[in-house]
Amino acid sequence: MDIPVLVINLDRSKERWEGMMARAAAAGFVPQRIPAVDGNAVDPSQRGDLQTWKFRLWHGRNPLGTEYGCYMSHMRALERVIAEGWPYAVILEDDADFRPDFVPRIEALARLDPAPGVVKLYNHRIKGFLAKARTEAGDDVGRCIHGPLGSAMGYLVSRPAAGKLREALLPAYLPYDIALERGWAHGVAVATTKKPLLRPAKSASTISPAGYRKTKFPFYMRIPTALFRGQDYLRRAVFAVLG
| Domain annotation for the chain: domains and CATH numbers | 5-242 (3.90.550)
Residue percentage of the chain with pLDDT more than 90: 90
pLDDT tens-digit readout, 173-205: 999 999 999 999 999 999 999 999 999 998 655
What is the model's pLDDT at position 205? 56
Question: What letter would DSSP give residue 139?
Answer: -
Could you tell me the pLDDT band of residue 206, with boundaries at 50, 70 and 90? low
Mean pLDDT of 30-41: 97
Strand partners, 187: none
Average pLDDT of every residue of the chain:
94
pLDDT tens-digit readout, 90-145: 999 999 999 999 999 999 999 999 999 999 999 999 999 999 999 999 999 999 99
What is the model's pLDDT at position 136? 97
In sequence order, what DSSP letters do the residues of 193-215 get, joined into one string? Answer: ESS-SEEE-SS--SS-HHHHHHH
Instruction: Give yes or no for a contact between 21 and 187, defined as CB atoms under 8 angstroms apart.
Output: no
Say how far apart CA 201 and CA 102 lie, in whole Å.
15
Say how far apart CA 182 and CA 93 lie, in whole Å.
19
Nearest to 240 by CA among 120, 147, 101: 147
| Model confidence at 214: pLDDT above 80 | no
Question: What letter would DSSP give residue 16?
Answer: H
Q: For residue 130, which phi and psi values (nearest 5 degrees)? A: -120, 115
Q: What is the pTM of this model?
A: 0.94
What is the model's pLDDT at position 216? 81
Nearest to 192 by CA among 228, 238, 235, 240: 240
The helix-helix angle for 159-168 and 65-84 (nearest 10°) equals 140
pLDDT tens-digit readout, 62-76: 999 999 999 999 999
Mean pLDDT of 77-84: 98
Helix (H) or strand (E) holding 140: strand 140-144
Could you tell me the pLDDT band of residue 1, with boundaries at 50, 70 and 90? confident
Residue percentage of the chain with pLDDT more than 70: 95
